[in-house]
């Protein structure tokens, strides 16, 4: 449960999700983007977060 709390309160994580959320909302509402590009972007964000969290854990 502590890991979930740390994940949800990490400011870098919140910033990343906020920026990506606004970008995806734009794509959903205004840009003619195919569904598979949205899935690819979603996977890229997940991979970026996993790598970033592992890298920041190694710094400590």
d(CA 14, CA 33): 24
The predicted structure's pLDDT at residue 9: 80
The predicted structure's pLDDT at residue 59: 63
Contact present, 5 and 30 (Cβ < 8 Å):
no
DSSP annotation of 34: -
The predicted structure's pLDDT at residue 18: 87
Task: Report pLDDT digits (tens) over 8-60.
Answer: 788 888 888 888 888 877 877 777 778 888 788 778 877 887 887 777 767 65
Q: What is the pTM of this model?
A: 0.50
């Amino acid at each position: 449960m502590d890991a979930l709390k740390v994940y949800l309160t990490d400011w870098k994580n919140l910033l990343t999700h906020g920026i990506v959320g606004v970008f995806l909302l734009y794509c959903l509402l205004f840009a003619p983007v195919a569904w598979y590009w949205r899935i690819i972007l979603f996977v890229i964000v997940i991979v970026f977060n996993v790598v970033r969290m592992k890298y920041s854990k190694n710094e400590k």
